[in-house]
């Protein structure tokens, strides 16, 4: 594991450019194995999840190379093989290989995927979708076996709950199935639209993404003709906006899609941050005074669960009592005990997180642990705000989700480094 060492207290200024969306990338890479031609992506974030997915591709004889934000994948010599359990267990998004392998070979065997421990995230909706398309599902301990010896056939799939992962897996399995599939109560996230754009550009017939009903007419082949540019990461964007408002002397955040962040930026404006929003960039001026707010996380286009923790350090600076209710992952509280170690007045109970005003002078460096990606982001921002040295252990979690984060922070006048534990 790695640790992140932060010398806090520096004011930040300058420009930062947002990378491609992690949550698109981790679906697009498994989707690439559905293609009958080589595939190329650009603006790919340089994060650990990408390198772990490349290890999984290698196990299937799928060659890939990654340089300067461009990822080339050649699935033309793909073979069925046991996938490496270490790489599978390191990131939850590896479960997208279930849908992709089922779509390609009509069978798949995967160990139960890992990733962030942010409370229960069952895959029953994924498995229900696969069964609707004609697959049989069996589980043996931590392993899932999927098989559709007679091929996959379009069907109506109703999601009992809005699930990004299950919606994506259903698309991946249905895109080469015979006939029409209708996914109802589908998730609407921009990353799902990005995936469908990639598949449609290869000849898929997917309609309705971005709404709660998606219609897919199966096709026999998918062939890539162009490089697919991954959309900007709205969670990385929100993290830097919070950081810039908390301790910035004027920061420009480039490569932004503002409409993907409206629920988040409206809350920042409500707090008193005078965001200057352009078509593809947002300027965050120095902030004088902040008001407390209430945040309730919801499926897109509501306030993203992944952004409640990055906003927490900014809420701590606000006058009064701010409240977070996470309806998506109520147990997403790993950051709280760690932030308390740094002097933040924050508690959780009765299904909500309460953040009381904490003057930045009361924040101090400490030894803390990043329990998951976004918890790590909140510790990182607080460490930059605090006086003294903060050491974030298990910083691999941060590196899983944030593109070239040390380089980007240091260019803004932060003092951050990564070392091996």
Could you list the residues known to form a binding site, using ranges: 22-23, 92, 121-125, 306, 328
Q: Per the annotation, where are the binding residues for phosphoenolpyruvate?
A: 22-23
Q: Per the annotation, where are the binding residues for UDP-N-acetyl-alpha-D-glucosamine?
A: 92, 121-125, 306, 328
| Cβ neighbour number for residue 66 with a 10 Å cutoff | 15
Q: To 10 degrees, the CA torsion angle through 365, 414, 22, 162?
A: 50
Catalytic residues: 116
Give me the phi and psi of 118, to 5 degrees please.
-125, 30
Q: Which residues contact 399 (CB under 8 A, 6 or more apart)?
A: 2, 47, 48, 405, 418
Nearest to 41 by CA among 287, 281, 228: 228
Nearest to 102 by CA among 134, 138, 128: 134
Note whether 156 and 182 are within 8 A (CB). Answer: yes
Nearest to 3 by CA among 389, 393, 382: 393
Return the exposure string of 325-359: e unless at least 16 CB atoms fall within 10 Å of the residue's CB, then b.
bbebbbebbbbbebbebbbbebebeeeebbbebbe
């Amino acid at each position: 594991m790695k640790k992140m060492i932060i010398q806090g207290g520096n004011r930040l200024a300058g420009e930062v450019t947002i990378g491609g969306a992690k949550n698109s990338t981790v679906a697009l890479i498994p989707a690439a194995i559905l293609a009958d031609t080589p595939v190329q992506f650009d603006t790919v974030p340089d994060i650990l999840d990408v390198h772990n997915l490349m290890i999984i591709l290698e196990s299937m004889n799928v060659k890939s190379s990654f340089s300067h934000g461009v990822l080339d994948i050649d699935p033309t010599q793909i073979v069925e093989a046991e996938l490496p359990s270490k790489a599978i267990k390191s990131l939850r998004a590896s479960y997208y290989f279930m849908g992709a392998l089922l779509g390609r070979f009509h069978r798949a065997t995967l160990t139960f995927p890992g990733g962030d421990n942010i409370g229960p995230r069952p895959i029953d909706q994924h498995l229900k979708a696969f069964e609707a398309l004609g697959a049989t599902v069996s589980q043996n301990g931590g392993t899932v076996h999927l098989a559709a010896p007679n091929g996959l056939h379009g069907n109506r799939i109703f999601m009992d709950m809005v699930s990004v992962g299950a919606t994506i897996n259903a698309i991946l399995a249905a895109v080469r199935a015979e006939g029409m599939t209708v996914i109802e109560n589908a998730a609407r996230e921009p990353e799902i639209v990005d995936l469908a754009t990639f598949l449609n550009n290869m000849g898929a017939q997917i309609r309705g993404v971005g709404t709660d009903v998606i219609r897919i007419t199966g096709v026999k082949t998918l062939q890539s003709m162009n490089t697919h540019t991954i959309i900007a990461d709205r969670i990385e964007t929100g993290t830097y906006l919070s950081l810039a408002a908390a301790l910035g002397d004027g920061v420009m955040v480039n490569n932004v899609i503002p409409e993907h962040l409206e629920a988040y930026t409206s809350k920042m404006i409500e707090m008193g941050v005078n965001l200057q929003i352009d078509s593809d960039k947002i300027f965050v001026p120095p902030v004088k005074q902040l008001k407390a707010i209430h945040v309730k996380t919801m499926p897109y286009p509501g306030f993203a669960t992944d952004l409640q923790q990055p906003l927490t350090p900014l809420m701590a600076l606000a006058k009064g009592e701010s409240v977070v209710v996470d309806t998506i992952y109520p147990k997403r509280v790993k950051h709280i005990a760690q932030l308390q170690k740094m002097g933040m007045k924050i508690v959780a109970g009765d299904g909500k997180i309460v953040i009381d005003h904490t003057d930045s002078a009361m924040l101090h460096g400490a030894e803390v642990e990043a329990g998951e990606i976004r918890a790590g982001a909140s510790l990182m921002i607080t460490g930059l705000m605090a006086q003294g040295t903060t050491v974030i252990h298990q910083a691999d979690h941060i590196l899983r989700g944030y593109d070239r984060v040390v380089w980007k922070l240091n260019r803004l006048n932060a003092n951050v480094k990564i070392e091996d534990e």
